[in-house]
Amino acid sequence: MIKKTLLLLVAVAVVAGVVGLNHLRKDGSGQSLFHVAPPATLSVRIVQPERRPIVRTVQAPGEVEAVLQVEIRSEIPAKIEEMPVEEGHTVEAGQLLCRLNDDEYRAMVESSEAQVGALQASIRDGEADLAQCRFDCNRREKLAQVDAASDIELTEYRTRLLKAQATLEMRRQNLAEAEAMLRRARENLNKTVITSPIDGVVSQVFAKPGEVVITGTMNNPGTVIMVVTDLSTMQVRARVDETDVPLVKAGQPVDIFLPSDPQKAIPGRVLRVATSGTKQTGRDVVTFETLILVESDDPGVKPGMTANVEVHVARKNDALTVPVQAVVHRKRKDLPTRLIEEFQGRAEAGQTARRSKAQYLKVVFCREEDESRPYLVRTGIADETHVELLAGVSPDAEVIVGPYRSLDQLKDGSKVELEKADEQETPDTADTPAAEETRLAERQDEAEEPGSASGSSEVAKAP
Q: What is the pLDDT of residues 394-413, one digit of tens each?
A: 888 999 998 888 888 888 88
Task: Lowest mean pLDDT of 35-39, 79-83, 86-90, 447-451, name the range.
Answer: 447-451
* CA gap 238, 290 in Å, rounded: 5
How many residues can be counted in the chain? 463
Is residue 333 within 8 A of residue 339, CB to CB? The reply is no
pLDDT at 421: 65
Confidence of residue 439 (pLDDT cuts 50, 70, 90): very low
pLDDT at 197: 94
Task: Lowest mean pLDDT of 36-40, 66-70, 330-334, name the range.
Answer: 36-40
pLDDT above 70: residue 91: yes
Most confident option among 66-70, 132-136, 424-428: 66-70
Residues with Cβ < 8 Å from 326, sequence gap 6 or more?
47, 364, 365, 387, 399, 400, 401
Rg of the chain, C-alpha, whole Å = 43
pLDDT at 3: 63
pLDDT at 323: 92
Closest to 175 measured CA to CA, from 127, 115, 130, 129: 115
* CA gap 256, 308 in Å, rounded: 6
pLDDT at 40: 79
Is residue 60 within 8 A of residue 311, CB to CB? The reply is yes
The percentage of the chain sitting over the pLDDT mark of 90, rounded to a whole number, equals 47
The pLDDT tens digits for 103-115 are: 999 999 999 999 9
* CA gap 274, 457 in Å, rounded: 22
414-425: average pLDDT = 74
The pLDDT tens digits for 175-227 are: 999 999 999 999 999 999 999 999 999 999 999 999 999 887 777 778 999 99
| CA 181 to centroid of chain Cα atoms | 48
pLDDT at 95: 95
Is residue 460 within 8 A of residue 386, CB to CB? The reply is no
pLDDT at 142: 80
pLDDT at 139: 84
Closest to 29 measured CA to CA, from 415, 457, 318: 415
pLDDT at 248: 94
Q: What is the mean pLDDT of the chain?
A: 82
The pLDDT tens digits for 331-386 are: 888 788 788 777 777 655 555 545 555 678 889 999 988 888 899 888 899 888 89
pLDDT at 314: 92
pLDDT at 16: 66
pLDDT above 90: residue 454: no
Confidence of residue 453 (pLDDT cuts 50, 70, 90): very low
pLDDT above 80: residue 423: no
3-28: average pLDDT = 60
291-317: average pLDDT = 92
pLDDT at 255: 95
pLDDT above 80: residue 34: no
- Comparing 149 with 364, the larger pLDDT belongs to 364
Buried b (16+ CB within 10 A) or exposed e, 119-142: beebbeebeebbeebeebbeebee
pLDDT above 60: residue 435: no
Confidence of residue 21 (pLDDT cuts 50, 70, 90): low
Separation in Å, CA 70 to CA 22, 226, 262, 291? 77, 9, 30, 18
The percentage of the chain sitting over the pLDDT mark of 70, rounded to a whole number, equals 79
